[in-house]
């Protein structure tokens, strides 16, 4: 269908290590995808070139001719100026004041849109993942930190200066706990991120606690192993995961009472772990969410895995 560009968009997920791109239909069907190294160390110009190349390459892989592509969306790990179309700062890839939308549009001849990576993942899950079919969706990603995104009436909500959904920096342990990257102490992500669970596990081993975790050497221990051992009934691993996820659930109760969403979608590499995560999350949530808020809201796992970012980015270009 040459010349029919209504159904064809491209989503790009720009990460510190890899660039992912997907050819996606208007209805959210992923046709094909590619993953290249970002090579951020070779400078802004190089990465921008690679973004253009991967877009053309994935369209070609999908069997699309370029003039059929209706638009491109990009998820970017940084602070964005939406008015100007400029990446203000993206620490992981060393970008500062990059007018990415103008550059890409000039070179590719199609409309280009962007959002930050957490919002892109939230949009993806709300579109065709754990939140599909619902208007008010909150997405939370458990990873190195805790990311978040808010969809209101199906639209991403960015707030006054793009900071809406920064759930990871709700302070859950006032005046105590670990110092966070943001400079505060006791932030949710210092307790409930994958990184935080792993740190707690390592500390338990170092303290000499009796646990299956001690059978791994410190370097090879991962959050996934901690969760697996918790599921296997290891008491120390269980305590660590339970504390982290109950605290996440308590933070979600704040989000629940404030935003009264229909779905809270939990994503990130560990989110497929099932009850061992979701049971304490629910315990925490039920401790603080009003009963009418609980009635209206289900907490569900993300469904798109690593594709949430490219799918959400693609959605940005669906008009």
Contact region with its own copies (CB under 8 A), list: 147-155, 204-212, 233-241, 306-314: 147-155
**Contact between 31 and its own copies (CB under 8 A)?**
no
Give the 3-state secondary structure of residue 30.
Answer: strand
State which residue, 180 or 314, has the beta carbon closest to its own copies: 180
Query: Which of 61, 31, 16 has its CA nearest to residue 310?
Result: 31
Site for its own copies in 171-230 (CB under 8 A): 171, 174, 182-184
Residue 105's Cβ-side half-sphere holds a number of Cα atoms within 13 Å equal to: 13
Q: Are 245 and 281 in contact (CB under 8 A)?
A: yes
- In order of 65, 170, 199, the CA distances from 56 in angstroms are 9, 40, 41
Among 37, 65, 84, 163, binds its own copies (CB under 8 A): 163
State which residue, 18 or 286, has the beta carbon closest to its own copies: 286
Number of residues binding to its own copies, judged by CB under 8 A: 42
Q: Are 271 and 313 in contact (CB under 8 A)?
A: no
Which segments within 30-108 are labelled E, that is strand? Answer: 30-37, 71-76, 79-81, 86-90, 95-98
For the record, the structure tokens of 219 come out as: 């370097």
Residue 227's Cβ-side half-sphere holds a number of Cα atoms within 13 Å equal to: 23
**Contact between 132 and its own copies (CB under 8 A)?**
no
State which residue, 264 or 313, has the beta carbon closest to its own copies: 264
CB of residue 160 vs its own copies: minimum separation in angstroms? 4
Binding mask 59-88 for its own copies (x = CB under 8 A): --------------------x---------
For the record, the structure tokens of 301 come out as: 């796992």
For the record, the structure tokens of 284 come out as: 């925490």
Among 17, 67, 161, 232, binds its own copies (CB under 8 A): 161
The torsion angles phi and psi of 203, rounded to 5 degrees, stand at: -65, -40
Among 293, 313, 316, 317, binds its own copies (CB under 8 A): 293
**Contact between 53 and its own copies (CB under 8 A)?**
no
For the record, the structure tokens of 297 come out as: 């809201």
State which residue, 132 or 272, has the beta carbon closest to its own copies: 132
Site for its own copies in 229-288 (CB under 8 A): 250, 253-255, 257-262, 287-288
Among 169, 241, 301, 304, binds its own copies (CB under 8 A): 169
State which residue, 210 or 287, has the beta carbon closest to its own copies: 287
CB of residue 171 vs its own copies: minimum separation in angstroms? 4
What distance lies between CA 245 and its chain's CA centroid? 17
Q: Are 120 and 302 in contact (CB under 8 A)?
A: no
What is the H or E stretch that residue 301 is in?
A: strand 298-301
**Contact between 121 and its own copies (CB under 8 A)?**
no
Residues forming the site for its own copies (CB under 8 A): 79, 136, 148, 150, 152, 157-167, 169-171, 174, 182-184, 250, 253-255, 257-262, 287-288, 290-293, 295-297
């Amino acid at each position: 269908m040459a010349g029919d560009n209504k159904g064809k968009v491209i989503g790009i997920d720009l990460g510190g290590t890899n660039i992912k791109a997907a050819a996606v239909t208007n209805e959210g069907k992923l046709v094909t995808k590619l993953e290249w190294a970002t090579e951020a160390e070779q400078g802004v110009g190089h990465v921008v070139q690679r973004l253009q190349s991967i877009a053309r390459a994935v369209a070609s892989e999908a069997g699309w001719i370029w003039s059929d592509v209706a638009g491109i969306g990009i998820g970017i790990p940084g602070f964005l100026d939406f008015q100007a179309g400029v990446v203000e700062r993206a620490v992981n890839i060393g970008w500062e004041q990059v007018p990415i939308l103008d550059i890409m549009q000039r070179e590719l001849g199609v409309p280009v849109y962007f959002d930050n990576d957490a919002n892109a993942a939230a949009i993806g899950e709300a579109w065709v993942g754990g939140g599909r079919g619902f208007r008010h969706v909150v997405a939370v990603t458990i990873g190195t930190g805790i990311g978040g995104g808010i969809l209101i009436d199906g639209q991403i909500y960015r707030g006054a200066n793009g900071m809406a959904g920064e759930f990871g920096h709700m302070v859950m342990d006032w005046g105590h706990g670990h110092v966070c990257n943001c400079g505060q102490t006791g932030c949710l992500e210092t307790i409930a991120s994958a990184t935080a669970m792993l740190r707690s596990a390592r500390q338990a081993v170092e303290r000499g606690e009796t646990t299956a975790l001690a059978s791994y050497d410190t370097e090879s221990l991962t959050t996934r192993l901690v969760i697996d051992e918790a599921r296997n009934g290891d008491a120390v691993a269980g305590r660590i995961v339970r504390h982290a996820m109950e605290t996440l659930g308590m933070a979600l109760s704040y989000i629940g009472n404030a935003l009264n969403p229909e779905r809270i979608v939990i994503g990130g590499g560990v989110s497929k772990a099932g009850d061992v995560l979701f049971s304490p999350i629910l315990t925490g949530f039920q401790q603080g969410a009003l009963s009418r808020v609980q009635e209206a809201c289900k907490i569900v796992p993300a469904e798109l895995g690593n594709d949430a970012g490219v799918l959400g980015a693609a959605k940005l270009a669906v008009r």
